[in-house]
Structure 1
């Protein structure tokens, strides 16, 4: 029996036969040995169900296959919550079915949290991975995201949330979370079936708990046409409507949780302004554009 804490890895998938095997292998080949992998099927109709079942049969003590009642498609948040309910680990982490980890990911993140009991979770920058295609035009497109917060030290709430609200493309791809924190937050918001399901949960995390932001990159976020939005396309959801829904939800959550941080409220209202007052927003943008042109002319 290992004296190292058990880590529950949750991978949700829907019709992911092209990439899921690489994701599973990257979990199996971790240098950290005390882990379990929960493969949560969100109603797949392709070969990914058979692939997941095969790994569960091959590694019965390490890998489990889960699905919703009657093999239903319940969405990303409900699928993550199914994994959370069945997880047995002291720590919980998520690996998307089209992404991969570097071998030392779990070992290093556990070491960080074990040495920093104040932090409820640790997060790392991810590599935006285009070069998996081996196309010459994609080779140079890879980059590691930059998180504009202090690294390798405790970051108090809500600083990370403010960063993500003001930078729509910032995200928490790679997190390891203490189980009690996930349970205290009630897991994922199941009203978010596709886009912004991660952001809603991460907003709750960043409001509640101190975090360690590591400078290391162990998560490769595969870029391809079906990435991340596989459910959203099925339900006709666009980025703009998804973001508006998220911001409206966040405003209600702040009220429910009695969050009174003035900076958080200011940023949320600023982000909501274009959706609630589109005409005023367009007018203000035109005014700013005109002022900039006048300023340039004056300099000439």
Structure 2
């Protein structure tokens, strides 16, 4: 029997009092242009045991109104959240706001301009439940240009940097990530066990732009077993307004990486990380600082 959209919404909302298996979190800041497409990619998952928390980070457009419409159609499944003062606090603080309200055994994030493929949650939950020791699973992310018919670049995905469809013990993936030899577990792709956030903490509020995702992922890769899949589960939309494009345009990537490494060094010390982890950070931080200083001296001499 084919369900109408109204009947499907009723079926989805009927078990709203139960604890969901997955909490999906979207942070939106003036993201009305792509927001419906992001939300629809969650609503359209083949795995239906989820809740969606959308954190409005001080938007002045119609983002909140869009989500209120989903709240009405899917009561108990979709919830709109905001900060206490309704102001902009940045993506890290907003993700933490969502985490504070999450009820699921697993957590997955989606940026308001990206989308999930329909089997993402079904396949990822299956992997996580087959190995209770796993802290996280991630796969390939499609670098998505073709959403724009005028794009002059083809879609692609970055190499994973490791053999796919395998479990990795910590801190192997962190060491490779520090060397830029492995794809980072993108926030739109990864599925994490909620207990990992309870153990390691969430995102660092002071990181409002670049490397904000790695303030959590680095901790996860340092301490938790992770499964890396060869499957593509998410599409990462490429456009001129994205945070990564804005940072590269401003020439801020190098300074942001050094700030992240300094922060990570302190966090690993506080959490009692092994000498293996600490020394890997020291080596990369020393190299990146030396390269930055060398470029700075060269620029001064050229004036």
Q: Which residue of 131, 141, 158 corresponds with 1:116?
A: 131
Query: Counterpart of 2:141?
Result: 126
Which residue among 28, 51, 62 is the counterpart of 1:47?
62
TM-score when normalising by structure 2: 0.85
Q: Which residue is 1:241 aligned to?
A: 255
CA–CA separation in structure 2 for the residues paired with 1:89 and 1:82 = 15
Identify unmatched segments of 5+ residues in structure 1: 286-300
* 1:232 to 1:12, Cα distance in 2 relative to 1, 3 A: farther
> Match of 1:82?
97
**Aligned position for 1:170:** 183
| Structure 2: gaps (5+ residues) | 1-14, 299-303
**Structure-2 change in CA distance of 1:83 and 1:168 (3 Å):** farther
Residue aligning to 2:168: 155
Instruction: Identify if the C-alpha distance between structure 1 residues 35 and 47 changes in structure 2 by more than 3 Å, giving closer, same or farther.
Output: same
**CA deviation after TM superposition for structure 1 residue 271, in Å:** 2.4
Q: Indicate which of 258, 264, 267 corresponds to 1:253.
A: 267
Q: Which moved more, 1:93-102 or 1:146-155?
A: 146-155
CA distance 1:281–1:39, change in 2 (3 Å): same
Match of 1:8 in 2: 23
Show structure 1 runs of 4+ deviating over 6 A. Answer: 230-233
**Corresponding residue of 2:210:** 195
- Could you say if the C-alpha distance between residues 119 and 133 of structure 1 is closer, same or farther in structure 2, counting changes exceeding 3 Å? same
Query: What TM-score, normalized by structure 1, do the two folds share?
Result: 0.85
* 2:281 is equivalent to residue 268 of structure 1: yes
Q: Could you tell which deviates more after superposition, 157-166 or 223-232?
A: 223-232
Q: Return the offset for 1:161.
A: 1.0
C-alpha distance in structure 2 between counterparts of 1:257 and 1:46, whole Å: 41
CA distance in 2, matches of 1:209, 1:30: 27
